[in-house]
Amino acid sequence: MLETSEKLFERAQQFIPGGVNSPARAFNSVGGSPVFFKKAKGSILTDVDGKEYIDYVGSWGPMILGHAYEPVIKAVQETAAQSTSFGAPTEIEVKMAELVKQMVPGVDKIRMVNSGTEACMSAIRVARGYTGRDKIIKFEGNYHGHADSFLINAGSGALTLGTPSSPGVTKGTAKDTLTADFNDLNSVKQLLNEYKDEVAAIIVEPVAGNIGCIPPREGFLSGLRELCDAHDTVLIFDEVMTGFRVSKGGAQERYGVSADLVTYGKIIGAGLPVGAFGGKKEVMQVVSPDGPVYQAGTLSGNPLAMAAGYALLSELQENPLHYDELEEKTTYLYTGLQEQFEDHGASVHINRVGSMISVFFTEEQVVDFTTARTTDETLFKHFYHKMLEQGIYLPPSPFESWFLANSLTEEQLDDTIQAAGQSIKSALSN
């Protein structure tokens, strides 16, 4: 059925490592050939064999209003006709910075980069330059991109593929990354006390999304804020997934906690390669050329990327109803899935925050890395392929969040719920 995908995958494997340009899209954990796509509109993807799928990956986040969203396409086309890059300032960069400031008032200054990885990598450099300290604290299973400092107990593809701590990261780098447990303030306190005056930053996914979706416990984020204040440590929210998604102002707005620095990716570029880091004036003032912390990029603030991101963000800014609709749609899906799994006697915990949702096949509440790992991976694998057969495209790993788009229709949600019932029935009898 996936004949052309399979053929392309065979060719790809000859010249591209694992046949893919990013491991999270490989099918190593669910088995089989990854699906190759040729086009998409709204929430419908079309693969190279012409089969259609309802999309719950949304390019891992950017497609919050669906694929080929008209204002984005128009902005890219019009901008491309005026040149794809200048390597010099443009007006759209200024408009973008002003718009982000409106949507996220805590972001006094923002610097555009080309990916979420770059954003997080730069943010910790800024925090180190600002504090004059070397160490950072991250959380087990959180993913902040593939820069050396983060590939220690990481999530996402690194976890799915069994390499949460990657070879190739030097011992010197690894020793400066301390790992705490998500949702466990005591584990953070212990590290801050043990490494007194050495910790430059705490970086956290405010809603964990790279071990599946895990909400922060009540008081966890505000507790991090207090600890950072007490220890003169920079608090970095990695909002690459949650930014402009869990609310207009991201997790900072949703949970009422402000970070010192924040990183973005995904939605901020509407599907073009963009990231950004920003935050409080006093911290951002160390960034070159205002200050001594060097950070640069030939294509940073690229006009195509800025035009696409601006078109999407301004729609989200002007029509906050999108967020209400996304909440409603996700609640609808959550309730429907819950009913189907109960009817078929599956042990399941579904976590959700806004339009991020994950299904864990386990009897345990999933609150951190350890409990996420209790999910039945074999059951997920069977479930995954049954969903795929029925035209539902989910992230190909039990440790990823699904991303809903506001282009999803009630009929598509109903089809997904029905397919989930069939899929779990079949997976359980396997």
- Contact flag: residue 300 with ligand PMP (CB under 6 A): no
- Contact flag: residue 400 with ligand PMP (CB under 6 A): no
Output the smallest distance, CB 325 to ligand PMP, in A: 23
Neighbouring residues of 278: CB distance < 8 A, sequence distance ≥ 6: 100, 107, 108, 109, 110, 111, 261, 262, 264, 284
**Contact region with ligand PMP (CB under 6 A), list: 65-73, 142-150, 324-332, 390-398:** 142-150
Neighbouring residues of 62: CB distance < 8 A, sequence distance ≥ 6: 266, 267, 269, 270, 271, 312
234 sits in which H/E element: strand 234-238
Output the smallest distance, CB 355 to ligand PMP, in A: 15
Tokens of 278: 């920003």
Which one of the listed residues 53, 56, 69, 143 is annotated catalytic?
A: 143
- Contact flag: residue 140 with ligand PMP (CB under 6 A): no
For residues 429 and 379, what is the distance between their CA atoms, to the nearest angstrom? 10
Nearer to ligand PMP, 275 or 419 (CB): 275
Nearer to ligand PMP, 143 or 402 (CB): 143
Q: Quote the DSSP letter at residue 33.
A: P
- Contact flag: residue 116 with ligand PMP (CB under 6 A): yes
Cβ–Cβ < 8 Å for 238, 201 = no
List the interface residues with ligand PMP, window 238-277 (CB under 6 A): 238, 240-241, 265, 275
Tell me which of 58, 62, 145, 396 binds ligand PMP, using CB under 6 A: 145
- Residue tagged 């089809």 (tokens): 415
Q: Quote the DSSP letter at residue 155.
A: -
Q: Write phi, then psi, for 182 (nearest 5 degrees).
A: -60, 140
Q: Answer yes or no: 323 catalytic.
A: no
- Contact flag: residue 156 with ligand PMP (CB under 6 A): yes
Query: Sheet containing 234-238: which strands, arranged edge to edge?
Result: 109-113, 275-279, 261-264, 234-238, 199-204, 135-139, 177-180
Which one of the listed residues 248, 266, 280, 381 is annotated catalytic?
A: 266
Nearer to ligand PMP, 116 or 398 (CB): 116
**Contact region with ligand PMP (CB under 6 A), list: 8-16, 69-77, 233-241, 323-331:** 233-241
Binding characters for ligand PMP, 21-60, by CB under 6 A (x = yes):
---------------------------------------x
Q: Answer yes or no: 229 catalytic.
A: no
Nearer to ligand PMP, 159 or 178 (CB): 159
Q: Write phi, then psi, for 63 (nearest 5 degrees).
A: -85, 50
Taking Cα atoms as reference points, which of 215, 218, 188 lies closest to residue 203?
A: 188
**Contact region with ligand PMP (CB under 6 A), list: 124-132, 139-147, 161-169, 299-307:** 139-147
Tell me which of 110, 120, 214, 424 binds ligand PMP, using CB under 6 A: 120
Query: Sheet containing 349-353: which strands, arranged edge to edge?
Result: 349-353, 356-360, 402-403
- Contact flag: residue 205 with ligand PMP (CB under 6 A): yes
**Contact region with ligand PMP (CB under 6 A), list: 4-12, 110-118, 289-297, 412-420:** 110-118
**Distances from the Cα of 194 to the Cα of 1, 189, 225, 227, 300, angstroms:** 57, 8, 19, 14, 38
Nearer to ligand PMP, 42 or 145 (CB): 145
Nearer to ligand PMP, 19 or 116 (CB): 116
Taking Cα atoms as reference points, which of 410, 315, 400 lies closest to residue 61?
A: 400
Q: Answer yes or no: 255 catalytic.
A: no
Output the smallest distance, CB 120 to ligand PMP, in A: 5
Nearer to ligand PMP, 117 or 371 (CB): 117
- Contact flag: residue 395 with ligand PMP (CB under 6 A): no
For residues 384 and 98, what is the distance between their CA atoms, to the nearest angstrom? 42
**Distances from the Cα of 169 to the Cα of 149, 150, 154, 175, 284, angstroms:** 8, 9, 13, 10, 27
Which one of the listed residues 47, 55, 176, 238 is annotated catalytic?
A: 238
Query: Sheet containing 52-55: which strands, arranged edge to edge?
Result: 37-41, 44-47, 52-55, 392-393
Active site amino acids: 143, 238, 266
Rule CB under 6 A: which residues touch ligand PMP?
60, 115-117, 120, 143-145, 156, 205, 209-210, 238, 240-241, 265, 275
